[in-house]
Amino acid sequence: MRAYKPKDDVQKKSYYTDRYWVAPMVPKSKVEDDAVFAADLEAIKTKFEVSDAYIQVEQMVVYIKAEDNVGVLKLMKEELGYTQLSEMSAIDWIAKQGQFEIFYQMLSMGKRKRIRVKCFIDQKQAIESVNPLFRSADWAEREMFDMFGVIVNNHPYMKRILMPDDWEGHPLLKTYPLQGDEFAAWYEVDRIYGKEARDIIGPEIRESARVDRYDTERFSRLGFEVPMGTEPKAKDAEETPLAYQEEGGVFMIDKFEDDKTEIISDRKR
């Protein structure tokens, strides 16, 4: 279901958003509805503390304590048959509650079921690595560190995976600007030429829709080409058709004559 937007003033206010609109939640159902999930949840509950559990889109979501993450995953892997960790990462809830939500998406091929194990950690809190249990957690935990700054204890190689090693900031945080902070804006210039080159190279041009057809240094005028930097004579300069060679011909190369060319319409000729 999409939010209702009045269509009469769409052109006038393209930024219109309903401040009081609440995104509809996918309906949740009780764990008891599914016998397999209910048995799994009982097995987890006998050893670990479970704060919440429900079924959403045919998958069980289990909230546990962050300290128990390795224990719960070990139990699920060795006793419950959830032998694959298909995905794990963090969700930034810092603005709402000052916490990250860590999720582990588990898959059991035998039971044909998926369980999402979730826990909350504080902003500066580290979490234990599940890499000894699942090798797929290796890169996923590195990506989590790279994108959110969540430190993972006892990871064999805790290093950024996507961004450069000397990058500042963690791009998937909600507070990180999409077009980058000042460090990101000057990264390549600082790295290659040094900070003193900033004045010469200048800031990034982020206005992607900017077109100036009389600026012959930065914009070409297809079909109305003039040499770079020269002022176009009239407002609309003379049309210059595509020219592959100079007027006088080229040294040792046959003249390309446009009127003698033939366009083949039949591909199978």
Partner 1 sequence: MAQHQVNYSQDNGLPVALTTIDKVVNWGRSNSLWALTYGLACCGIEMMASGASRYDFDRYGTIFRSSPRQSELMIVAGTLTKKHAEFIKRLYDQMAEPRWVISMGSCANTGGMFNTYATVQGVDRVIPVDLYLPGCAPRPETLQYAVMMLQKKIRKEKAGNAQRPKRLL
Helix (H, G, I), strand (E, B) or coil at 74: helix
| Candidate list 7, 96, 124, 206; residue touching partner 1; CB under 8 A | 206
Stretch that binds partner 1, among 15-23, 129-137, 150-158, 246-254 (CB under 8 A): 246-254
Q: How far is the CB of 219 from partner 1 (least distance, A)?
A: 9
Distance CA 63, CA 65 (A): 7
Residue 163 interacts with partner 1 (CB under 8 A): yes or no = yes
Residue 234 or 253: the one with the smaller Cβ distance to partner 1 is 253
Q: Measured from the CB of residue 186, what is the shortest distance to partner 1 in angstroms?
A: 10
Among residues 35, 205, 263, 264, the one that binds partner 1 under rule CB under 8 A? 205
Q: Which is nearer to partner 1, 81 or 169 (CB)?
A: 169
264 near partner 1, judged by CB under 8 A: no
Q: Which spans in 79-214 are helix H?
A: 94-97, 137-148, 182-185, 187-192, 198-201
* C-alpha dihedral (173, 177, 178, 180), degrees to nearest 10: -110
Question: Does residue 253 bind partner 1 (CB under 8 A)?
Answer: yes
Q: Which member of 23, 200, 234, 263 binds partner 1 (CB under 8 A)? A: 200
CA dist list (Å): 11 to 16, 21, 233: 10, 21, 38
Q: How far is the CB of 187 from partner 1 (least distance, A)?
A: 5
Is-contact 224 237, C-beta < 8 A? yes
The interface with partner 1 within residues 173-192 (CB under 8 A) comprises 176-181, 184, 187-189, 191-192
Sign of the dihedral through C-alpha 31, 35, 38, 40? negative
- How far is it, in rounded angstroms, from Cα 181 to Cα 173? 12
> What is d(CA 117, CA 192) in angstroms, rounded to the nearest whole number?
44
Question: Contact between 107 and partner 1 (CB under 8 A)?
Answer: no
Q: What is the nearest approach in angstroms of partner 1 to the Cβ of residue 233? A: 21
Nearer to partner 1, 125 or 245 (CB): 245
All residues at 6 or more sequence positions from 24 whose CB lies less than 8 Å from its CB, including other chains: 1
Which chain residues interact with partner 1 by CB under 8 A? 162-164, 171, 176-181, 184, 187-189, 191-193, 197, 200-201, 204-206, 208, 220, 222, 242, 244-246, 250-253
